[in-house]
Amino acid sequence: MNYTGKIKNILLSSVILTAAFAAQATPRTVMVHLFEWKWNDIARECETYLGPNGFSGVQVSPPNEHAIVEGQPWYQRYQPVSYILNSRSGNREEFVNMVKTCKKAGVDIYVDAVINHMTGILPKGEERIGSSGSKFGHFSYPDYSYDDFHHCGRNGDDNIHNYGDRYEVQNCALVGLADLKIEKDYVRDRIAKYLNELVDIGVAGFRIDAAKHMSTNSLNEILKRVKGNPYIYQEVIDQGGEPIQASEYFQNGDVTEFKYSVDMSRVMQNGKLHWLNNKAQFGEGWAYMPSDKAVVFIDNHDNQRGHGGGGHILNYQSGRQYELASVLMLAWPYGYPQVMSSFAFTSPNTSPPANSDLSTKDVNCLSREAGPQAQEGWVCEHRWPMIREMVNFRNMTSSKFYLSNWWSNGNNQIAFSRGDLGFVVINHEDQDLKQTLQTGMAEGLYCDVLSNNCERTIQVRANGEADIAVSAQNAAAIHIGHKLN
């Protein structure tokens, strides 16, 4: 697997992992999506938490001017009005400060770039105001006019109805949103100008929203006009059975592997963990895209709400199951993982936590215990201790990007190592695990990083074996960075 190609985009510095570790930097290999956070809060989080805890980057919500929708649901951020950097998360000055602050902390900023479409199509004659005060109307925006959009001439309403028809998917309106004609040079230049402004500010990469709804070659022509070499990952929901495939987009960068999220949730909820390495290893062995092209997650802002390839997806409301799935994702050698950091929701359209004037509240993370039951507030899963410690585990073991010393009980207790750099045990059963296992680690006493302040330790003998005890619905992990003697 060509994981080296992935690491080069997210390293703080080039390193060789050795047993010493003390004087060496380690790679940063996990990003987080701080969904709907304000720029000032993200800047603070980079300084105080993300940088010190080894996160590689932050996916931020779309920073440009957006529609103001009744009730201010989260999805109004995905209805652009203009490319002015003034949104619910803050203004341009605050955005610039966030990018600089995070970069200083060793954390990259990845912008969620909504370039396939503008707002919902308004009736003729109707005019509204965006989040920065810009007027917009029926196929009319500060940067675009009627001829800059597709008018696909199908289905009466111009919406996509048949996902088996490539033309409809890429030329008709996605859920009623005005579809930009990105094969037009003017449109390509205008989008590239927006992306280049962000690159000039210091943005390190882009998530391309709704990439599936743009032809890969047209998207490629836009990206060719973008300065430097930003990290690109594209939202392409490909679960088979449709004409548009994720592999078409590899020429542009990485791609979101939605099958990973679906299968991880299925295995954790209704399956058996031993399936993960039974006949074919979870990842490419399950007919996923190549590891060095895949961005993976347990849930994202769409499918945790039942949208965008969702349905029975684990999320923060799943509690302990979600934590164990996150441990597994961060230990498993496949893809570039993204941790979701949510706000509580009770309906698919819930807006972020808001003040009485509907402005977004400052982030005040709920306690871990409040998370699954929370009716409102910032959940902040990335701060849950197990997830935090497994980010460090993945960083520490990244140079041995393969699985070894696999063990399972044939059901929902599994263990494996990452070469001689780390070892993890997951007990997704309602009974304790007690087993002598081959860890692959050097002899010594190690902190179980998933215990509270190293209250549990694991003694590895000279032959690499250790006596492992893990309570029901729990996990343990050791790595060379926390070798005690």
* Active site residues per annotation: 209, 235
Contact 360, 447 (CB under 8 A): no
Which residues face 149 on adjacent strands? 180
Instruction: Give the 3-state secondary structure of residue 347.
Output: coil
Q: Judge contact between 263 and 332, C-beta under 8 A.
A: no
Which secondary structure element, helix H or strand E, spans residue 200, and what is its range? helix 185-201
Q: Which residues contact 240 (CB under 8 A, 6 or more apart)?
A: none
- Taking the C-alpha atoms of residue 439 and residue 384, their distance in angstroms, rounded to an integer, is 25
- Asked if 1 and 290 touch (Cβ cutoff 8 Å), the reply is yes
SS3 content of the chain, % helix, strand, coil (to 5): 30, 20, 50
440: left (phi over 0), alpha (psi -120 to 50) or beta: left
DSSP SS3 for 189: helix
Q: Residues with Cβ < 8 Å from 164, sequence gap 6 or more?
A: 241, 242, 243
Please, what's the b/e burial string for 378-412 (b: 16 or more CB within 10 A of its CB; e: otherwise)? Answer: bbbbbbbebbbbbbbbbbbbbbbbebebebbeeeb
Instruction: List 340's β-bridge partners, or say none.
Output: 33
| Backbone dihedral region for residue 72 (phi beyond 0: left; psi -120 to 50: alpha; all else: beta) | left
d(CA 104, CA 107): 7
The gap from C-alpha 162 to its chain's centroid, in whole angstroms, comes to: 28
